[in-house]
Structure formats: structure tokens, C-alpha cells
Amino acid sequence: MGGQVHSGAPVLRKTDDYSAVRALAIRCGLEDGTFENVVMAYGYYIGEELVGCAALKRDGDRYGVEWLSVADRFRGKGMGRMLVGKIEAEARMRGATWIWALARAPRFFESIGFRVTTSDEAGGPTMSNCLLCSQYQRTCFPAIVTKQL
Ligand SMILES: CC(C)(COP(=O)(O)OP(=O)(O)OC[C@H]1O[C@@H](n2cnc3c(N)ncnc32)[C@H](O)[C@@H]1OP(=O)(O)O)[C@@H](O)C(=O)NCCC(=O)NCCS
């Protein structure tokens, strides 16, 4: 049949549909990338439609938030905050004591308890890929952010 219309509140659950995560992230303006080292992801669903997502990346003993995206029409409703909260809890469960992100929206991360740092201090990501990106300092003003868990 198909074409079923779902209404109601988005449902938050784990997802392994990384192709949907990637598609949503790209629609939300993130650059494409790989899922190398991604250990799990959460999604907000309305029926089968993914409308929000975030993934946990593990690189040695470093944990990061990646692929964080919320569909335009659902922004400002707390979904981003909830998604990052779930990723933090997963990281904590795996023994992480802090988590980082290479943030396109540093102020969003600051509003949920992260602080802007340098890559040396975080021992996490660097901005080296950003320097090659055509969006860098034009439409994207990223920062490395970190939070003690
Ligand atoms: C960044 C993003 C995930 C936030 O999702 P969201 O569901 O709208 O965020 P929330 O509703 O949970 O907002 C939480 C807080 O952050 C603030 N906030 C949200 N987006 C923000 C932004 N872009 N800049 C500054 N503050 C922001 C909200 O005002 C809110 O603060 P409050 O609690 O004081 O009201 C979403 O805007 C998005 O998908 N953007 C495009 C993709 C992107 O930049 N992803 C981040 C990659 S690092």
C-alpha cells in the first residue's frame, strides 16, 4: 500500500540505518563522511521517517558525537539536546569520562554543557579536514567542543 500517514510525537530509538542518517545529515547541511568507528546511533522517527539523528564515534579511548542533525521543521523542540544526551549516556556506559564534537553549531553545544576547546587539550578531533572544505569560514564556523561526563 505505502503512503501511510503517521502523526504524533517523534519516537526516539537506537538505529542502525546509517544510510538514512547520512541522507538526513546531508539534507541538514553536513558534509558527507564515513561511518568508520561509529559504534551506535540514535534516531527520532515519525513512523518510518527519520527526522533526527546522532551517532557515537569511538577512536581508541576517545568518544565523539557525530552526524547530529534535526530536520528543519523539528528544530527548537529539544530533540538535539535529547539526542546528544543519549549519546553521552552511551559513551559513559562504555567507560568514557569525556566526549568531544567537531561542532558546526558551537553555541548549541555550549547551551548543553560543552565548552569550546583546542584539539591539543581535547586530544580529539582536529580541524584539518575543515581547512579543505569550501564551507569553512564562509557558511560554517566550526569549533572543537568537549564535555566532562
Ligand atoms: C544543531 C541542531 C542539531 C540543534 O537541534 P535542535 O533540536 O534544534 O536543538 P534543541 O531544540 O535541543 O536546542 C537546545 C538548545 O540549543 C539552542 N540551539 C539550537 N540550535 C542552535 C544553534 N544552531 N545555535 C545556537 N543555539 C542553538 C536552543 O535554543 C536550545 O537552547 P535553550 O534550551 O536555551 O532554549 C539543529 O539545529 C541542526 O540539525 N542543525 C543543522 C545541522 C548541524 O549543524 N548539526 C550539528 C553538527 S555538529
| Per-domain boundaries in the chain | 11-148
State the cell numbers at 72.
Answer: 528543519
11-148 — its CATH code? 3.40.630.30
Give residue 19's pLDDT: 98
Total count of residues recorded for the chain: 149
The residues with which 14 forms a beta bridge, in sequence order, are 42
Mutate to test the pocket of ligand 1, among 27, 108, 114, 116 (most ligand atoms within 8 A of CB): 108
Binding-site residues, ligand 1, Cβ < 6 A: 28-30, 68-70, 75-81, 101, 103-105, 107-108, 111
The answer to whether 109 and 67 are in contact (CB under 8 A) is no
Give residue 52's pLDDT: 98
CA distance 131 to 106: 17
Q: Which residues of the chain have pLDDT under 50?
A: 1-3
State in Å: Cα 79 to ligand 1 middle: 8
| Ligand 1 atom showing the smallest separation from residue 25 Cα | 42
Give residue 16's pLDDT: 97
Residue with cell 569560514: 137
Give residue 139's pLDDT: 87
State in Å: Cα 90 to ligand 1 middle: 20
Give residue 124's pLDDT: 66
Give the residue whose CA is nearest to atom 43 of ligand 1.
Answer: 69
Determine how many CB atoms are found less than 10 A away from the CB of residue 85.
Answer: 16
Residue with cell 564515534: 57
